[in-house]
Chains A and B, each alone.
Chain A
C-alpha cells in the first residue's frame, strides 16, 4: 500500500459563514459538513443560494467571515502552501478557466508543467484519456463545444491528482455522451478513495452522490435521497 493509500482523507467544515457587501448579504450562515474518503457529497439548492460561494470558500478562493475548513485536521492556504494545497484540492468552477486563444494542449501544459504526473502518460492511459481529451488536443479553446471545455477544465484541475475534487455544476449544458463520460470518470475517481463535492442540478449527478445536502437560506440541510426526484423537488419548496 502506498503512503497515499495509507492516509485517510477527511474534510471538516465547522461553523462556516460568508457574507458580501460588508455583511449586508449573508450567503452562508452556519455551514457544518464532513466528508470522508471515497464519498461523493451533492450540494443542491435554488439558483443563487450560495453553492458556488460555498465551493469557492472550500477551494480557498474566498476567505470566510468565520468558521474553519480543515483537511485531515489541518488548514492549508493556497497562498502560503500552494503545492500542498494543490495536492489536496482540485476545483472546477462553473465558468471554464481556460485561455481561449490557445489549444487544449497549451492549456494543459500550464497546469501540468510541474505536476508529478506526466501529461503524455495521462493522455494516453490516465484520466485525461478517460475524459476523451486526446480527441481535441490541438483544437483552439474558442472553437470547442461546451462539453469539450468542461472536460478540459476537469483535466486541468486534476494536474496534481488531488484528493478532493470540487465541481460546480459539471454537467450544465452538456450533451448526454459528455455527461456519461464525466460520470464514469467521477465514479473511478471516487473508487480511488477520493472525495468529491458536487454542486449540481442534474438528476444523473445526484444519483452519483452518497449524501445530499440542500443549501437553503445559508444553511446546509442533510437530505436523505431515496432516488425519487419528486420528493427532492418538494423538499426544495
Chain B
C-alpha cells in the first residue's frame, strides 16, 4: 500500500513537471476566448448593429432596380438589417473582395424585357466565399419565395394591362403604378397572413446553453493534445520492476490514472478561476441557468468533476493505445471532432440525419453534454451521470486490456 501511494505521488510529481507549459496554454486560450467575448459584448453595447450590405449592379436605366430595392427595403423583417448600394460591377467586385459588402445582386441587361419576352434571365447573387451555416443553405428556398413574389406581382401587372386594353379602360399607366405600389406594400407585409401560436415544448435546452456546454466539453478533451509527454508509458523495464515489487499492471494503471486525474484537477481549477475572472470582468453570464453568478459558476465547476473523470480516462486511453505523440494527438483530435459532430456540438442534433443522431447518442460526448445541460438547467443529471461513469470504467477497462495484450505478446 505504501509503495502504491508513493508511486501515485511520484507519478503526479513527474506529471507536474509538464504542467507549466499546459497552464500557459490554458492562460492563452482563456484570454483569447474571453477577449473574443469581450469584443463581441462591447461591440453589441455600442449598438453597432451588424448590417448586411448588398451591392446592386444593373444598367442605369433599368426600371426593375428601384422597384426591387424598394420592396426589399420595406419588408418588416429586412428593413433594419439590409442596406443597398448601387454600384458598377467592377467596383462591386472590389468591395466584395475587401468585405465592404457582403453580397452582390446582379440584374442582367434588359431584365424586364427578358421577362416580357419569356426568356427570363436570371438574377445572380454573388458571394465572396462559401457559406457553412444552415441559414445560408436555406437561401435557395428563400429565393423560390422571392421569385414567386416577383413573378406573381408581375403577372398581376401584365394581367391588368391586358384587361384594360381588352375592355378599353383608361388611366392604365396611373393604375399600373398604383397596383405596383400595392403589390410592394403587400409583399412587404405578407407575414400578416400568418397567425402565430406559441406552445410549450418538452425539455429542449436553449441553443446558447448547448454551445457553452459543448465548448467546455470539447476544451476538456482537446486539452489532451498537450498531454502527450505526460502520458508516455514508462519503460518496460520500469513496469517490470514495479511488478516484481508487487505493483501489478492494474495497480500501476490505477496509480497513473489517479495521478493524472490529480493533475487534470489542477489544470481544471486554473481554467475555472480564469474563466470566472473573465466572466466577472466582462459581466457576461447566462441568466436562468446555474451560470448566472460567480457562486453558480463554482457550483457548476464542482458538479462537472465527473465529466473531468471521463475526459481524463479517454485521453489516457488514447495515449495508452498509441504510445507515441504523433498518432495520439491526431487520433485524439479526430475522434473528438467526430464524436462532437455526431453528438450535436457543432450543429443542433435534431438537424442531423437520424442515423447520425443514433450513433451520436452512443458517444461519451453526448452523455457529457446531457450532463452539463441538465446541471445548467437544474434538471436531473442521474441518467447521464450513470452513462459517464460507465464510459469511464469502460475506458479504464480498455487500457487494462491493452496492457495485458502487450504483455502477453511480449511474453
Judge if B235 is at the interface, Cβ distance under 8 Å.
yes
Q: Which residue of B lies closest to A102 (CB)?
A: B14
Residues of A within 8 A of B5 (CB): 113
The residue from B10, B235, B244 contacting A91, defined by CB atoms under 8 A apart? B244
User: At the interface, is chain A mostly helix, strand, loop or mixed?
Assistant: loop
Judge if A114 is at the interface, Cβ distance under 8 Å.
yes
Cross-chain contact B245 with A97 (CB below 8 angstroms): no
**Interface 1/0 per residue, B3-24 and A, CB below 8 Å:** 1011100100110010000000
**In the bound complex, what is the Cα–Cα distance between A83 and B245 (angstroms)?**
7
Q: With A56-B240, A91-B241 in contact, do A63 and B2 touch (Cβ < 8 Å)?
A: no
Cross-chain contact B237 with A99 (CB below 8 angstroms): no
Residues of A within 8 A of B237 (CB): 93-97
Judge if A41 is at the interface, Cβ distance under 8 Å.
no
Cross-chain contact A113 with B6 (CB below 8 angstroms): yes
Cross-chain contact B240 with A97 (CB below 8 angstroms): yes
Which of A1-9, A104-112, A181-189, A207-215 lies at the interface?
Answer: A104-112
Residues from 15 to 32 in A contacting B, C-beta threshold 8 Å? none
Q: How far is the CB of A86 from chain B (nearest CB, A)?
A: 5
What interface size band does chain B fall in? 20 to 34
Cross-chain contact B6 with A101 (CB below 8 angstroms): no
Q: Which residue of B lies closest to A111 (CB)?
A: B245
**In the bound complex, what is the Cα–Cα distance between A111 and B2 (angstroms)?**
10
Judge if A89 is at the interface, Cβ distance under 8 Å.
yes
**In the bound complex, what is the Cα–Cα distance between A113 and B5 (angstroms)?**
9
Cross-chain contact B17 with A82 (CB below 8 angstroms): no
Residues of A within 8 A of B411 (CB): 62-63
Q: With A93-B237, A113-B2, A114-B3 in contact, do A99 and B10 touch (Cβ < 8 Å)?
A: yes
Residues of B within 8 A of A78 (CB): 243-246
Cross-chain contact A99 with B234 (CB below 8 angstroms): yes
Q: How far is the CB of A20 from chain B (nearest CB, A)?
A: 8
Residues from 366 to 402 in B contacting A, C-beta threshold 8 Å? none
Residues of B within 8 A of A97 (CB): 235, 237-238, 240-241
Residues of B within 8 A of A89 (CB): 244
Q: With A95-B237, A96-B237 in contact, do A102 and B243 touch (Cβ < 8 Å)?
A: no
Judge if B236 is at the interface, Cβ distance under 8 Å.
yes
Q: How far is the CB of A95 from chain B (nearest CB, A)?
A: 4
**In the bound complex, what is the Cα–Cα distance between A62 and B244 (angstroms)?**
11
Cross-chain contact B248 with A109 (CB below 8 angstroms): no
**Interface 1/0 per residue, A39-78 and B, CB below 8 Å:** 0000000000000000010011111000000000000001
**In the bound complex, what is the Cα–Cα distance between A128 and B146 (angstroms)?**
88
Residues of B within 8 A of A99 (CB): 10, 14, 234, 238
Q: How far is the CB of A149 from chain B (nearest CB, A)?
A: 11
Q: How far is the CB of A94 from chain B (nearest CB, A)?
A: 8
Q: How far is the CB of A47 from chain B (nearest CB, A)?
A: 18
Q: Which residue of B lies closest to A107 (CB)?
A: B10
Summed over the interface, the residue pairs from A and B with CB atoms below 8 Å come to a total of 71
Interface size of A by CB at 8 A reads 33
Cross-chain contact A95 with B235 (CB below 8 angstroms): yes
Cross-chain contact B235 with A110 (CB below 8 angstroms): no
**In the bound complex, what is the Cα–Cα distance between A89 and B243 (angstroms)?**
13
Residues of A within 8 A of B246 (CB): 78, 82-83, 85-86
Q: With A79-B248, A101-B17 in contact, do A93 and B10 touch (Cβ < 8 Å)?
A: no
Judge if A152 is at the interface, Cβ distance under 8 Å.
no
Cross-chain contact B3 with A110 (CB below 8 angstroms): yes
**In the bound complex, what is the Cα–Cα distance between A93 and B411 (angstroms)?**
16
Q: Which residue of B lies closest to A91 (CB)?
A: B244
Q: For A60, A79, A82, A96, which residue has the most chain B Cβ atoms within 10 angstroms?
A: A82
Residues from 212 to 241 in B contacting A, C-beta threshold 8 Å? 234-238, 240-241
Judge if A98 is at the interface, Cβ distance under 8 Å.
yes
Q: With A95-B235, A101-B17 in contact, do A110 and B244 touch (Cβ < 8 Å)?
A: no
Residues of B within 8 A of A85 (CB): 244, 246
Cross-chain contact A102 with B13 (CB below 8 angstroms): yes
Residues of A within 8 A of B17 (CB): 101
Q: How far is the CB of B27 from chain A (nearest CB, A)?
A: 23
Q: How far is the CB of B245 from chain A (nearest CB, A)?
A: 5
Q: Which residue of A lies closest to B235 (CB)?
A: A95
Residues of A within 8 A of B238 (CB): 97-99
Q: Which residue of A lies closest to B240 (CB)?
A: A61
Q: How far is the CB of B319 from chain A (nearest CB, A)?
A: 16
**In the bound complex, what is the Cα–Cα distance between A113 and B242 (angstroms)?**
13
Q: Which residue of B lies closest to A113 (CB)?
A: B6
Q: Which residue of B lies closest to A80 (CB)?
A: B246
Residues of A within 8 A of B244 (CB): 59-61, 78, 82, 85-86, 89, 91
**In the bound complex, what is the Cα–Cα distance between A110 and B6 (angstroms)?**
6
Q: How far is the CB of A146 from chain B (nearest CB, A)?
A: 14
Q: How far is the CB of B357 from chain A (nearest CB, A)?
A: 44
**In the bound complex, what is the Cα–Cα distance between A109 and B13 (angstroms)?**
13
Residues of A within 8 A of B6 (CB): 109-110, 113
The interface of chain B, by Cβ under 8 A from chain A, is 2-3, 5-7, 10, 13-14, 17, 234-238, 240-241, 243-246, 248, 411
A/B interface sample: 11 pairs, CB < 8 A: A61-B240, A82-B244, A86-B245, A93-B240, A99-B14, A101-B17, A102-B10, A107-B10, A110-B7, A114-B3, A157-B241
The interface of chain A, by Cβ under 8 A from chain B, is 56, 59-63, 78-79, 82-83, 85-86, 89, 91, 93-99, 101-102, 106-107, 109-111, 113-114, 156-157, 159
Can you name 8 extra interface pairs (CB under 8 A) apart from A95-B235, A113-B6, A114-B2?
Answer: A63-B411, A78-B246, A85-B244, A93-B237, A96-B237, A107-B10, A113-B2, A114-B3
Please list the 4 inter-chain residue pairs (A to B) with the smallest Cβ-Cβ separation, ordered nearest first. Answer: A82-B246, A97-B241, A97-B238, A95-B237
